[in-house]
Structure 1
Amino acid sequence: MRPTLDPRDRSVAAAPSHDNWTTEQHMDYGGPGTALQDDETRSFAVGEPLHQPPRSWASHLRAWAPEIGCILLAVGLFVALTVVLDRCNDKRLPQWPLGLTLNTAVALLATLCRSIIMLPVADAISQFKWNWFASGHHPIKDLYIFDQASRGPWGSLRLLGRMRGRLTPLSHAAALVLVSGVATSFLTQSAVSYEERLVTSAKSGNATISRASMFPSTVDDNSTSGDLEGLKRAALQATFLNVNDHWPIPEPICPSGNCDYPVYRSLGLCVSMQNVTSALTYDEFEKQSGFTMVRASLLNDTVFMEDELTSNTMALNATSLQPRIRLADYDRPVTSQMDFEEAQEAMDKAMEKYVWPPEWTSVADWEENPDVLDATIAQFFFIWSTAKGLDKDMHTRYRAAEVLWHFCVHEYNTTARDGVAATESLGSVVKVDEVVKQRGDPCYFMLTDAGGQDRFRITDSYTYSELDRMFRRAFSGAWSFLDFDMDYSEISAQIAESLFLNEYEYGTDGWSRQTLEEWDVIMWDNLGKITATVAQGFTAHMRKMAKVDSDIEGDVLQTETFVVVRWPWLSALAAQIGLSIVFVVSVAVHTARLGVAVVRSNNLAELFAQDNSRSSREEQDDGVPGGGTAFSTGIKTQVDEAVRGRLVRDNEAWILQMQKDGTSEAKPPGDSISGSSS
C-alpha cells in the first residue's frame, strides 16, 4: 500500500521528475463519450505543455462569456453612475422617495460596479495561474500564491515578488487593479460635493423697493401739498450731518433677508456746481467804525458779501435769486367780452409768452448740458472768504460758486444679503425729453434716462413752484466769524462750519500751515459734499412719499443645497475598469495562444490536475479501490456525479479519498474522520 506523506512534503511529492516520463490517460469523469481507453497513452517531455487543438475565436469568446458579461455589466453601472451624476450636477439636491439620498445611490452604484469588475479579475488571475505553469517549471507553492492573489490586494502584492520574465506586466496590472479597489469607493464618494446657493423663491412674499416716477407724487396737486413739509425737513436735516456722512438710501423690502433687484431708475434731486470766482467784482469802503470793508459781488452787485478786509477771519454768504416764473411775461387776457373763438386765440397768444420751465439768471456756463437749467428748482450763489489774503489780494482772499439743485434721473443697483441691503449708485443724468405748455391743464416736462428706457414727469403745480421759495427761505443767509452780519442764520452757520471744517478739525496751527491751494481743494470738496447731501435727503424723501404704484419688484431668494459633481474624482473608478478590461483581455489572449483550457478559479482543476498515474498503479496493486482513476482527468471543471469524496485520516495526515459509486468502499486507514490531525 502507498505510504501516506506528511503534508509538508506534498509539494515535493507532487513535483514531476526531470526525466522524460509517460502518462496514462484514464477515463475522464467529465461525462460519457469522453473517456480514453486505459491502454491509450501519450508521451511528452517534461516542460513541454499539453496544448489543445486550435480553436476558433468564437469558441474562445464563449469560454470567457461570464467575464465578458461581468465587464459589460460593470461598464453599464459606471455609465448609469455618470448619468445620475450628470442629471444632478448643478441642480437642487434631489428629494427621492423612502429617504434615498444621492450619496446612497452613488455608493450603491460604485460599490456594485467595483465588486462586479473584481469578479473577472479574480477569475483571470486564477486562469493566469495555469498559463504560468504552462510556460515552464515553477514551484508548486505558486498555486497557493496565485490563489491568494485572486482573493485580495495583499495576495496580489505577494504575487509581484514571484513573477519574472515577460509575464511580469500582467502581474503588475493585476496587483494595481486589486490595490486600487481599496481607495476607489472613497474617491468615488468624493466626486459628490454640495454647496449652498441662493435661488428665487415664490413662497416668501414680495421683494420691492420704492422709487419716484413723477413730481409731485400724484397728478392731484391738492393731495401732495403736504409733502413740502417733509421735503423741507429732509433738506434741512441733511445740512446738520457731518460733511463726510451721506444721507441713507431708502431700504428695500426683503422678506427673506436675501433679495435681488434689477437695475432701476428713480426721479430725484442732483446738484451741479461751478466756480465763478473770476466773475467777482470788489469795492472797498470804510464804515463809520473805521473798519476797512470790501464788497465782493456778482451780477452787478445783485449778489454780494461784505467782509472786513484787515481781519484774518472767515465769512460766508448764500444768496438765491428768483427765477423768471410764469407770471413775469404772461398777461392773462380779458376774455369776458370775446366770443369763444376770439378767447381761444387770445389765450393761445398769451401762452406763447408763458415761461416754462422757469428761466434762471446764471453766471456760469452750462452749455455742456443746458438741460440742467430747465430742470433746476433752486439756484444759489455762495461767496466766502478764505482768510488767506492778508496782502489784500482779492483774488487770493475770496471765492464764489454757483450751485444748482435740479431734478435728475438716478440709476441704482440694490441687493440684500443676510438682512443687510447694499445699494450702489450707478450715476445720474439730466436729459429733458419733452416740454409741454398747454392751456387749461398743467404744463409739464419729461426727463428720461440715458438709454431712454424710463420717462419721469415733472408737473407745473403749487408744490413745484413752492420748492424754490422753500430752498430760498431755508438756505439764504450769511455768517461771519465776527458775528456782525445782520443776515446771520443757524443754517448758514452750520453750512459755514462744514465748509471751514478743516480749521475745526486741525486747529488754527494746522490750518495756518496749509497752503492756499490745499485750503482751496478742501473747501471746494466740502461745499460739494454739503450740497450733495441735501440732494440725497431730498431724493430719499421723494422716493418714500411716492403714491403712484411704481415700486420695483425683485426676487426673493432662499438658501438651497445644490449638487456639484467633481468629475476628476471618478477617474479612479474609470481607470480601474479600464485596467481590469486590459488585464482580462490580456490573460484571455495569452490563454488562447498557449492553448490552455479555460478553467478559471475552479478548485476541481487543481484537484485533478496532478499526474498520479504511477501512484494509481501502485494503489491498484495494493488493492485500493478506485485508486487513481479519479485523479487522472486533467484540469477539468466538470466531474461525473458518480464520483464521491471523503476526508479520511491516514496516519498523520488528512486525505481526500475519492471513488466512483458502485465500487467497494475502502476502510479509512488510521483514526476515524472525526479525529483531529496530530
Structure 2
Amino acid sequence: MPMSRVRQVSEFSKESSQTLRPESSKPFWKIWWLEMVCILVSLVAFVAIVLVLDHFDNQALPNWPFKATLNTFIALLTTVAKGAFMFPVSMAISQTKWTWFLQDRPLYDFHAIDQASRGFWGSLVLMSRVRLRHFVVLGALLMVVNVVTTPLTQLAISYPARDEVAVGEDASTRVISAIDLDPGPLGILVRRALQIGSVPETGSFLAPIPPHRGLSASCATGNCTFDPYQSLGVCVKTANITSQLNVRELDAARPEDFELFGDTDPSKGKAWAASLPGGIEMGHRSPMAFMTYTLNGTDTYGFVDEPGLVGSRVISVVLLHTTPLFDNVTWYDPGRMWPLAEIFGYFDGFRHEATEFLFHVCVQSFETRVHMGVEETVVMESLGQPVVEDAGFFLNLTCNSLLDDGTWCNYNPDEWNKTLSLEAPSSVNLTAGSNSSTTNDGNVFVTTYGAMETIARQMNGALGGWAEARFSPEEYDRMSAAVRLYGTRQYFSQALFAEVLFDMTSMVNLTRRAASLHNIMQTLRNYEHQTDSPAAFNVTGHAWKEVSYVHVSWEWITFLAVELALAVLFLAITMVTQSRAGRGANRDFVHADSKDSALAGLVVLGHKGRDIVGDGLRPVSELENSSKRLRVRLEGNELVPVNRD
C-alpha cells in the first residue's frame, strides 16, 4: 500500500476515535419519540374501532358515500392500528440485539435477532433458538401472531337479518263488534257458510279450520303481528249426555212402534229405540244410524248449570247415533275401499251415544300472526256471558223436527229489534271504533234478536236430518240404495254420516271419531264467523320486513386489544432494559439509538473479531458457520471475541 494511503487511513482512524465517539448518548425521548407516537396512533385507531362498532352494533347497515361498507372502514382502521404498533415492536426487537450482547453470545444471534425484527419466518427461528430465556421472545411472538390474526377483526362483524316494522305497509284484520244484519242478507250468508263448512278440508274432519276463517288478515309484507283483539261470533260447546239415554229393543208384536222407519213390517228384523227425557227418540234397525233434533225454548240436557251460556244460546242440537263395535281390527286395511256389505260382516255389536251441541253468540280474544304469508290465529279466550246476569233465555225458539213435519221454526218479528249485550273477556280491550247502527259501548258487544233467530233458523234447516244404513243380500249390487238418508239440506247429513260417524277409519279409531265429530261442529261455527255486518271494522297490526343489521362479536376485537397491550408491554420492557444498561459501569451506551441501523451493524464488529471471521463477502453458509462458533460481547462500541474455537 502506498505510504500516502497508509497515512490517510491512519489519520481517519485517529479522527474516528476522537470525533465518532460521542461524549454521551441522546436523551431518552429523542431515541424513542417515533415509537411512542406510533403507539399513540395505534391506541387512537383502536378506540375509533371500538366507538364505531359500538355505535353500529344492533343498528341498520350504514349508508356511506362511494358504497363504502363497515367492513372496509374497520379493515382500514385495523391496518392502521396494527401497522402503528408493529413498527415499535420491530424497532424494539432490533434494539434488543445491542443489550443482548452485554453478555457473551454467539455472533450468529446478531443475525437471528435482526431477521426476527423483519418478519414472520425470522421470528419463528428466533423463538426456536431463544425460547423463553429472554423477553425478546415476546416481540417475536407478536410478529408471528400479527400475521395470523390480521383477518380475525373482520370476523367481529356479521349481518344477520331481523324483522323491523315496515312503516306505511298494511297490516289489518277484520273483526265484528255487533251482529245486526237484516234477516234476508244474513240468512244467505249463514246458509252459504253452513254449506261450505260441511265440506272437509282434511279427510274426515281430522282438523278444524282456523278459528278466524273468512276474516283473514291482510298483510302486505307477508310477516305481520297483531296485539290481542276481540271479535263477536258464534261459539259451540259440547256435552256428552249418553247417560240420559234410554235404549229398548222394539217388540215385533207392536207394529205401531215401527212407524219410526216409515214402514210397519216388523218381519224385516230387529229394531231399537234410543230416547231422551222429553220425547226425543231415534228408532233404527241398523247398527249404523243417527238422528239430529233441535231443542226448543229453554230445553237443555247438558248445560242446565250454565245459565249465562244458555242465555246467549242461538240453537241447541242433540245428536243421537250408534257406535259400531269391533272385537279386533287386525283385518282393517286403510288402503282399500270397503263395501258396505263387508263392513256389516265385521261388526261385533254397537252402542248408543248422545251429544248436545250448543251454539251461542260469544266474544273471543284472538292472537294473530302471519309468517311468510301463512296466517296463524289462536283463540286465547272465549266468553258468552250476557251483560245482564240471570237474564234467562234471550231467544225463544220453537222448531219442528224432521219426524214431525219438516225443519221449520217460528218467526218473532216483533222481537227482532231487541238487543243482547255480551261482556268481553277481561284480558283484552277493544280499542278500535265501530260504524254499527247498534251502539257498542267500550267492551260490550251486541247482537239483535232478529240476527240470532235468522242464524238459528238456518242452522236448524241445515243440521236437521237422520240416516240409517241397511244391508240385505239382494241389495249387494246396489250399495248406494242401502243408506236411507233424509234431511232438508242433505249436505250436512251426508258429511256427518260418511265423513265422521261411519267413516271406516273413524269407526275403528273411536278417539279419531270423537275428534272428527267435534271438528265438524267447530268448522260450522268458524264459517259462520265470517258473516259480515255494518259493525265489522279493521284492527291494525304491525307489518314487518326482514332487514339486515350489524352484529358485533366483541370477542374477536379482544385479539387486537391483547396484541396492542403486548406491544406496549414489550416496548416498555425494552426501553427500561436499555435505560438500566446505560447506567452500567464504564458503559456510555453509544448504541442506544442504533436499533435496526445497517450502518451500526457494519462497524460494530471489532478488528479481532474480523480477523477471526474474515474480511469480505463469502457464501452465507460459511458466514453462518463462523458466526455460530464465535462468541462475542459488546464492550464499549464494538463486539469483541471472548473465545476462539
TM-score (norm 1): 0.68
One of 97, 101, 107 as aligned partner of 2:69: 101
User: 2:17 matched to 1:26?
Assistant: yes
One of 330, 340, 362 as aligned partner of 1:408: 362
Cα offsets for 1:427-476 (capped at 9, x unmatched):
53434344699x99733212311425343523224222222222112211
Q: Secondary structure at the match of 1:257?
A: coil
Aligned to 2:241: 276
**Residue 95 to residue 113, structure 1, CA distance change in 2 (3 Å):** same
Counterparts of 2:536 and 2:637 in 1: how far apart (Å)? 92
Structure 2 unpaired stretches of 5+:
4-13, 256-263, 327-343, 395-414, 431-442, 471-482, 583-588, 611-634, 639-645
**Residue 382 to residue 194, structure 1, CA distance change in 2 (3 Å):** same
Paired residues in the alignment total 510
Counterparts of 1:161 and 1:532 in 2: how far apart (Å)? 79
Output aligned runs, 1:246-645, within 5 Å. Answer: 246-248=208-210, 249=213, 250-282=215-247, 284-285=250-251, 286-287=254-255, 288-291=264-267, 293-301=271-279, 303-308=280-285, 312-323=286-297, 360-367=298-305, 369-387=306-324, 397-434=351-388, 442-451=418-427, 453-454=429-430, 455-482=443-470, 490=490, 491-503=492-504, 505=505, 519=510, 521-539=511-529, 541-542=530-531, 545-548=532-535, 550-595=537-582, 596-597=589-590, 598-599=592-593, 600-607=595-602, 609=604
Give the conservation status (yes or no) of the 8 Å contact 2:420–2:447. Answer: yes
**Residue 611 to residue 282, structure 1, CA distance change in 2 (3 Å):** closer
- 1:229 positional shift: 0.8
Cα offsets for 1:515-549 (capped at 9, x unmatched):
xxx64x4543332122111111112x13xx24336
User: 2:156 matched to 1:169?
Assistant: no
Counterparts of 1:315 and 1:473 in 2: how far apart (Å)? 19
Whichever residue aligns with residue 183 of structure 1, its letter is V
Q: Secondary structure at the match of 2:233?
A: strand
**Residue 77 to residue 178, structure 1, CA distance change in 2 (3 Å):** same
Counterparts of 2:380 and 2:317 in 1: how far apart (Å)? 27
Give the conservation status (yes or no) of the 8 Å contact 1:605–1:635. Answer: no
Whichever residue aligns with residue 219 of structure 2, its letter is C
Output aligned runs, 1:61-80, within 5 Å. Answer: 63-80=31-48
Q: Secondary structure at the match of 2:601?
A: helix
Cα offsets for 1:253-272 (capped at 9, x unmatched):
11122222223332222211
Q: Secondary structure at the match of 1:318?
A: strand
Bigger Rg over Cα: 1
- 1:159 positional shift: 2.4
Structure 1 unpaired stretches of 5+:
4-22, 36-51, 324-359, 616-632, 637-678
Cα offsets for 1:334-383 (capped at 9, x unmatched):
xxxxxxxxxxxxxxxxxxxxxxxxxx21112442x432211211111111
Whichever residue aligns with residue 209 of structure 1, its letter is T
Aligned to 2:145: 180
Give the conservation status (yes or no) of the 8 Å contact 2:57–2:552. Answer: yes
User: 2:49 matched to 1:81?
Assistant: yes
Superposition CA RMSD, Å: 3.6
Aligned to 1:149: 116
Aligned to 1:48: none
Whichever residue aligns with residue 502 of structure 2, its letter is L
Q: Secondary structure at the match of 2:296?
A: coil
Whichever residue aligns with residue 494 of structure 1, its letter is A
Identical aligned pairs, as a percentage?
Answer: 25
User: 2:186 matched to 1:213?
Assistant: no
Give the conservation status (yes or no) of the 8 Å contact 1:479–1:488. Answer: no
TM-score (norm 2): 0.71
Aligned to 2:337: none
Structure number with the higher helix fraction is: 2
**Residue 294 to residue 441, structure 1, CA distance change in 2 (3 Å):** closer
Whichever residue aligns with residue 307 of structure 1, its letter is H
Counterparts of 2:605 and 2:324 in 1: how far apart (Å)? 119
**Residue 239 to residue 440, structure 1, CA distance change in 2 (3 Å):** closer
Cα offsets for 1:19-53 (capped at 9, x unmatched):
xxxx99832358xxx67xxxxxxxxxxxxxxxx79
Give the conservation status (yes or no) of the 8 Å contact 1:269–1:405. Answer: yes
Give the conservation status (yes or no) of the 8 Å contact 2:303–2:310. Answer: no
- 1:609 positional shift: 4.0
After TM superposition, the structure 1 stretch with the greater mean CA deviation from structure 2, 175-184 or 414-423, is: 414-423
Whichever residue aligns with residue 596 of structure 2, its letter is S
Whichever residue aligns with residue 299 of structure 2, its letter is T
Q: Secondary structure at the match of 2:576?
A: helix
Whichever residue aligns with residue 316 of structure 1, its letter is F
**Residue 258 to residue 300, structure 1, CA distance change in 2 (3 Å):** closer
Give the conservation status (yes or no) of the 8 Å contact 2:468–2:485. Answer: yes
- 1:485 positional shift: 7.5
